Amino acid sequence: MAMIRQGVFVLAIVWTLWQLVHVRRQLRRGAIVVPPLVAATLVFALGIIVVIVTGVSPLHLVWWFPCSFIIGLVVLVFPLGTHLLLRFLVL
């Protein structure tokens, strides 16, 4: 069971880092960036940080993954969420 937990945790970190690097490459090339995907990735990264800080089981990331897409879409509905996402993309 510990091996599955570590596998899920490593896979989550690798996917998140890959997404952030991919978005950076797209921005540098001037390609189209899909804001809901970036928002979902940031929400999922927040979930990874919560797992690290609180010490809960990394298996929670399995259900957090689809929830992060829904929350990422909801965040973009609000002006503050859109503003923060644009600030992140400017970095």
**pTM (two decimals):** 0.86
Distances, alpha carbon 86 to alpha carbons 8, 23, 27, 39, 83, in Å:
30, 13, 12, 10, 5
Say if residue 90's pLDDT is above 90.
Answer: no
CA distance 60 to 58: 5
Q: What is the pLDDT of residues 57-87, one digit of tens each?
A: 999 999 999 999 999 888 888 888 888 888 8
Q: What is the pLDDT of residues 6-59, one digit of tens each?
A: 999 999 999 999 999 998 899 889 888 888 888 899 899 999 999 999 999 999
Q: Contact, 34 vs 77, CB < 8 A? A: no
Query: Domain residue spans in the chain?
Result: 2-90
